[in-house]
Amino acid sequence: MNQAEQDNHWLKQTLNLSQAAVDAGNHPFGALLVIDNKQVLKAENTVNSCHDATRHAEMNLVSQACQNLSESQRKEAVLYTSTEPCAMCAGAIYWSGIKQVVYACSGSELNDIAGKSLICHSEDVFTGAVNPPSVRSTQSQLLIEQACEQHKKYWIEDWSCL
């Protein structure tokens, strides 16, 4: 499997986690951590169920990673997420030492759909940082569309989320 195929495989799993978050009454975001092309941790958004605005999927995942993985393991990890990390999550990713982030739906796309985003791209958070993580979007237009479709369904079509 080449890198693009690996990315797509793991990003599909984040979309499943995103749907699981919605099914549990939360916002549509999912993330997982991969080391040596093996999933080691996963998390979904729990903002509503925990009554805590900081319980984004990436924050939940970073907390698990810091508690369960060594610094050297985190440096080898790739964080896959259904949507580009917000500024808060990007900061936590940086401080955790995770070195790569791959996402499907961009922050700009989310803002176009939901209109409720603080637009600050992950790369902007890392400007000036020493040894920042690499951040990239999937090259799969289909996965981008699927991730955006989850957000459209949640933020536009499902009025119960408002």
Sign of CA dihedral 147, 151, 152, 158: positive
pLDDT score for 122:
87
Residue 121, Cβ density class (10 Å: 0-12 exposed, 13-18 middle, ≥19 buried): middle
DSSP label at 40? E
For 90-138, the pLDDT digits (tens) are 999 999 999 999 999 999 899 889 887 677 888 888 888 999 999 999 9
**Cα separation of 58 and 47, whole Å?**
12
Cβ contacts of 151 within 8 Å, gap of 6 or more = 28, 83, 105, 109, 110, 113, 114
Tell me the mean pLDDT in the region 43-51. 98
Question: Domain 3-156 maps to which CATH number in 3.50.50.60, 3.20.20.150, 2.40.30.20, 3.40.140.10?
Answer: 3.40.140.10
DSSP label at 69? S
* Residue ranges in the chain assigned as alpha helix (H): 3-23, 47-50, 57-68, 71-76, 87-96, 107-114, 122-125, 141-151
* pTM for this predicted structure: 0.93
From the list 52, 64, 58, 53, the residue with the least C-alpha distance to 84 is 58
**Cα separation of 92 and 123, whole Å?**
13
DSSP label at 97? T
Examine the pLDDT at 162 and tell me if it is beyond 70: no
Q: Which residues are catalytic?
A: 58
